[in-house]
A and B are shown apart, each in its own frame.
Chain A
Amino acid sequence: MSEIALTQAPAHARHGSNIGQPLTRRDGVLKVTGAARYAADNHPPGMLHAVLAISRIARGRVAFLDVAAAGAHPGVVAVMTPANAPKLAVDPEVKTHPFVFRIDVLQNDRVRYAHQPIAVVIAETLEAATEGAALLAPRYETEPAQTGLDGDDGFVPPVLGAGQPAVLRHGDVAAGLAAAARRIEATYATPAQYHNAMEPHAIVAAWDGGRLLIDTPSQGLVLARARIAELFGLEPGHVLIRSPFLGGGFGSKGLLTGPQVLGIMAARLVGRPVKLVLRREQMFGPVGHRAPTRQTLRLGTDADGRLTALDHHTRTATSRFDDFIEPCGGVSHTLYAAAAIATTHEAVRRDTGTPNFMRAPGEASGSAALESAIDEMADACGMDPLAFRLHNYAEVEPVSGKPFSSKALRACYAEGAARFGWARRPRAPRQMRDAGGRLVGWGVGTATFPALMFQAEARAVLRRDGTAIMESGAHDMGQGAWTALAQIAADALGLEIGQVEFRAGASDLPDAGIAGGSAHTATAGIAIHGAGADAIARLAALAVGDERSPLFGAGNAGVVARGGRLHRSDDAARSESYADILARAGLAEIQGQGRSAADPAAQTRYAMHAHGAVFAEVTVDPALGQMRVTRLLGAFAAGRLINPRLVRSQYYGGMIWGVSFALHERAVMDPRTGRPMNPNFAAYHVPVNADIPAIDAILVEEHDPHVNALGIKGVGEIGITGTAAAIANAIWHATGVRPRRFPVMPHEVVALMA
Chain B
Amino acid sequence: MSLSISLTVNGAARAVTLDDPRVTLLDLLRERLDLTGTKKGCDRGQCGACTVLLDGRRINACLTLALACDDADVVTIEGLADGDVLHPVQAAFLAHDALQCGFCTPGQIMSAVGLVAEGQAGDDPERVREGMSGNLCRCGAYDGITAAVLDAQRRIAEQGKARAA
Contacts and interface: CB of A to CB of B under 8 A. Distances in A.
Interface stretch (A22-30, A111-119, A135-143): A22-30
A31 B40 contact: no
Contacts of A131: 22
A196 to B, nearest CB: 6
A339 B93 CA distance: 50
A690 B125 CA distance: 10
B102 A280 contact: no
B106 interface: yes
B97 A649 contact: yes
A90 to B, nearest CB: 32
Given A25-B94, A127-B22, A31 B138 contact: no
B61 to A, nearest CB: 13
Given A34-B38, A125-B20, A198-B49, A280 B138 contact: no
A689 interface: yes
Interface stretch (B1-9, B74-82, B157-165): B74-82
B37 A34 contact: yes
Nearest to A719: B140
B71 to A, nearest CB: 23
Nearest to B102: A31
Nearest to B21: A127
B140 A198 contact: no
A652 B34 CA distance: 34
A480 B44 CA distance: 29
A277 interface: yes
Interface string A475-487: 0011110000000
For B42, B101, B103, B143, the residue with the greatest tally of chain A CB atoms inside 10 Å of its CB is B101
Contact of A38 (B39, B43, B109, B143): B39
Given A649-B100, A657-B140, A680-B44, A126 B27 contact: yes
B137 interface: yes
Contacts of B141: 649, 652-653
Nearest to A277: B40
A430 interface: no
Contact of B146 (A31, A246, A689): A689
Contacts of A435: none
A703 interface: no
Interface in B129-165: 129-130, 132-146
A248 B76 contact: no
A480 to B, nearest CB: 8
A305 B36 CA distance: 59
Contacts of A686: 136, 138
B101 A32 contact: no
B94 A41 contact: no
A692 B146 CA distance: 10
A127 B138 contact: no
Contacts of A653: 100, 139-141
B126 interface: yes
Contact of B27 (A36, A127, A280, A648): A127
Contacts of A38: 36, 39, 103
Contacts of A725: none
Contacts of B138: 196-198, 248, 250, 686
A27 B129 contact: no
A245 B91 contact: no
Interface string A6-47: 000110110000000000110111111111111011010000
Nearest to A720: B140
A695 interface: yes
A652 B140 contact: yes
A371 to B, nearest CB: 20
Interface string B35-59: 1111111111011010000000000
A28 B49 contact: no
Contact of B102 (A27, A127, A690): A27
A25 B97 contact: yes
A684 B104 CA distance: 17
A200 interface: yes
A391 interface: no
Interface in A31-85: 31-38, 40-41, 43, 49, 75
A112 B139 CA distance: 31
B39 A33 contact: no
A199 interface: yes
A480 B95 CA distance: 14
A639 interface: no
Report which residue of A12, A36, A49, A479 has the largest number of chain B beta carbons within 10 angstroms of its beta carbon.
A36
A33 B46 contact: no
A33 B80 contact: yes
A689 B86 contact: no
A538 interface: no
Given A653-B139, A682-B44, A689 B145 contact: yes
Interface string A604-640: 0000000000000000000000000000000000000
Given A38-B39, A248-B139, A689 B132 contact: yes
Contact of A31 (B49, B99, B126): B99
Contacts of B129: 689-690, 692-693
A573 interface: no
Contacts of A656: 140, 142
Contacts of B44: 280, 680-682
A10 B86 contact: yes
Contacts of A247: 39, 101-104
Interface string A659-700: 000000000000000000000111000111111110100000
Contacts of A648: 97
Given A246-B101, A247-B103, A648-B97, 10 more contacts: A27-B102, A31-B99, A32-B105, A38-B36, A279-B43, A478-B101, A480-B100, A656-B140, A689-B146, A693-B126
Interface of A: 9-10, 12-13, 24-25, 27-38, 40-41, 43, 49, 75, 125-128, 131, 196-200, 245-250, 277, 279-280, 477-480, 645-646, 648-650, 652-657, 680-682, 686-693, 695
14 contacts: A38-B39, A75-B20, A198-B47, A198-B139, A199-B39, A248-B103, A653-B139, A653-B141, A656-B140, A681-B41, A688-B136, A688-B142, A689-B132, A693-B125
